[in-house]
Amino acid sequence: MQKTYYDPKDLKKFGKITEWSEELGEKFFEYYGKVFEEGSLTAREKSLIALAVAHTVQCPYCIDAYTKDGLQRGIEKEEMMEALHVAAAIRGGASLVHGVQMMNKVEKLSM
Amino acid sequence: MTTKSLLARKNDLSQPEKQLQFLSNGIFGNGELPTFKESLEKTNRFPLKPTGLDIFQVNVGYMCNQVCTHCHVDAGPDRKEIMTKETMQLCLDVLKASGAKTLDLTGGAPEMNPNFRWFVEEAAKIGVEDFIVRSNLTIILANKKYHDLPEFFKKYNVHVVSSLPFYKRNKTDKQRGNGVFQKSIQALQMLNEVGYGKEGTGLKLDLVYNPAGAFLPANQSDLESDFKKALKNDFDIDFNSLFAITNLPVSRFLEYLIASENYEDYMETLVEAYNPVAVDGVMCKNTLSVSWDGYLFDCDFNQMLDLKVAAKSKHLKDFDLESLQNRNIIISQHCYGCTAGAGSSCQGTTV
């Protein structure tokens, strides 16, 4: 039995999800491909967004995939790390901004 | 940073047969990945045949002033294989008879061959359409005797093709050694000063980019515009074109892939990116590569793997164009490096 939840080899099998639900799988991959095409944003910018989101959703497959994608696009490690800090700032900010809710509640309940 | 060649370190991978064994066993031996031959067969491209002889590429020796981590030649200051004047004369005779349009001198650092200048002067008399010298740039500053190389190249209208892995210092120095970036920039400025890469001079200066690691190169035209912008803004440097070259799993790059445990993933990346259209433009179809001792190969990579041409004519001494044109090109798994994505050759992408 597999002893870990994640196996790097599974990333290559991603396409197999279509086998159990053909129509939805195909629609998803068509959409996915379209999303990453050059548009108002460059493919390079989209790759950095993907990398930041990959860290936010903590997906090891996506982190591997978009780190390699970034290197191949000539994205530098400093740019990658800056993108991660954007993700971290939003994540941290999302916790802290709820502090206002906490403060409101404390003030409401306190005499 | 490596300071010695695999050969000087007595590393097993300095032996071509060990490299070929490695490339045929493991993931290719157990059927996990298709061999290059199987991929060619599946896409109706086996056997690979020459289309003509356009490029005559001469490796004048493996001696180099640098010891780059990715070098497929395993070049370095400790390599003593140097082409003699007699073999150079044979090259000139064959070049004249062959009608090849391009002469491409490579190494090592070709400038370190003691007869390099004589060879350039004689070759220029033949009047090929495109006369390339692959210069690593730092050689121009390595010693006073090389400082006039830009003027020398200009005199013989040599097309200079130079390697510069990146337009920033860190990545360049990591791959090629400390100080290489600064010297390369200075050398490019010297080439610019005599007119290389400048509009209207006709003096061509191209750059070669190869990834600093186990990944494929980015889109060539995107990289070219990034390089142009950065080199112009930061150092006021001009150049003509940028060639994006994929690192092939040969010699020191193979050593790096194995040591960093990237070999299997890298080969898988190359196999996944196999592009039959890129096969149609690979350089072995219109090139012959000559080694320092006069033997003939399908390409510089096959030269390093000691895979001599599969023809009766294996040496300059018994050069026979017809038998060479009918040969089958020798392949192994390293060839996947030239057929990945947009393809890769000494002239950049092949698609």
Q: Which residue of B has its CA nearest to A8?
A: B265
Q: Which residue of B has its CA nearest to A9?
A: B265
Residues of B in contact with A73 (CB under 8 A): 218-219, 222
d(CA B109, CA B337): 23
DSSP conformational letter for B201: S
Contact B243, B348 (CB under 8 A): yes
Phi, psi for B328 (deg, rounded to 5): -95, 135
Residue B198 has pLDDT above 80, yes or no: yes
* DSSP letters spanning B83-152: --HHHHHHHHHHHHHHT-SEEEEESS-GGGSTTHHHHHHHHHHH--SEEEEEE-STHHHHSGGGTTHHHH
pLDDT of residue B169: 77
Q: Does the distance separating the beta carbons of A73 and B217 come in below 8 Å? A: no
Q: What is the pTM of this model?
A: 0.91
b/e burial code for range B274-306 (CB count within 10 A of at least 16 → b)? bbeebbebbbbbbbbbbbbebbbbbbbbbbbbe
Phi, psi for B143 (deg, rounded to 5): -155, 150
The closest of B317, B339, B293 to B61, measured between CA atoms, is B293
Contact B209, B165 (CB under 8 A): yes
Residue A16 has pLDDT above 70, yes or no: yes
d(CA A3, CA A5): 7
- Distances from the Cα of B31 to the Cαs of A13, B25, B36, B214, B340, in angstroms? 18, 9, 12, 22, 20
B269 pLDDT band (50/70/90 cuts)? very high
Question: Which CATH code fits A14-109?
Answer: 1.20.1290.10
User: Taking all residues of chain A, what is their mean pLDDT, rounded to a whole number?
Assistant: 95
How many angstroms separate the most distant Cα atoms in chain A?
A: 61
Per-residue three-class SS string for B207-255: EEECCCCCCCCCCHHHHHHHHHHHHHHHHCCCCCCEEECCCCCCHHHHH
**A15: closest CA of chain B, how far (Å):** 14
Q: Does the distance separating the beta carbons of A74 and B222 come in below 8 Å? A: yes
Q: Is B1 inside any structural domain?
A: no
Worst-scoring range by mean pLDDT, B13-17, B32-36, B216-220? B216-220
Q: Which residue of A has its CA nearest to B265?
A: A9
Domain limits, chain A: 14-109
Higher pLDDT, B13 or B169: B13
Residue B301 has pLDDT above 90, yes or no: yes
B168 pLDDT band (50/70/90 cuts)? confident
B1 pLDDT band (50/70/90 cuts)? low
Residue B175 has pLDDT above 90, yes or no: no
Query: Helix or strand or coil: residue B265?
Result: helix
The closest CB to that of B213, out of A71, A73, A76, belongs to: A71
Q: Does B213 touch chain A (CB under 8 A)?
A: yes
What is the average pLDDT across B276-294? 97
User: What CATH number is given to the structural domain containing B242?
Assistant: 3.20.20
pLDDT of residue B179: 85
CA gyration radius, chain A: 19
Bridging pattern class, strands B287-290 and B296-297 = antiparallel
Rounded to the nearest angstrom, the gap between the alpha carbon of residue B92 and the centroid of all alpha carbons in its chain is 20
Query: Helix or strand or coil: residue B274?
Result: strand
- Distances from the Cα of B243 to the Cαs of B75, B105, B223, B286, B290, in angstroms? 21, 17, 9, 18, 22
pLDDT of residue B2: 65
Interface of A with B (CB under 8 A): 68, 71-74, 76
The range of the structural domain enclosing residue B215 comes to 12-338
What is the average pLDDT across A77-86? 97
pLDDT of residue B172: 75
Q: Does the distance separating the beta carbons of B168 and A74 come in below 8 Å? A: no
Query: Helix or strand or coil: residue B335?
Result: helix
CA dihedral B225, B149, B288, B45 (to 10 degrees): -10
Worst-scoring range by mean pLDDT, B53-67, B209-223, B278-292? B209-223
Residues of B in contact with A74 (CB under 8 A): 218, 222-223, 226
Query: Helix or strand or coil: residue B340?
Result: strand
Residue B46 has pLDDT above 80, yes or no: yes
Q: Is B2 inside any structural domain?
A: no
Residues of A in contact with B223 (CB under 8 A): 74
The closest CB to that of B223, out of A68, A71, A74, belongs to: A74
User: Taking all residues of chain B, what is their mean pLDDT, rounded to a whole number?
Assistant: 95
d(CA B290, CA B300): 8
Q: Does the distance separating the beta carbons of A71 and B211 come in below 8 Å? A: yes
Q: Is B108 inside any structural domain?
A: yes
What ipTM does this complex have?
Answer: 0.79
pLDDT of residue B174: 75
pLDDT of residue B121: 97
The closest of B143, B127, B70 to B95, measured between CA atoms, is B127
What is the average pLDDT across B46-69? 96
Q: Which residue of B has its CA nearest to A75?
A: B218
B55 pLDDT band (50/70/90 cuts)? very high
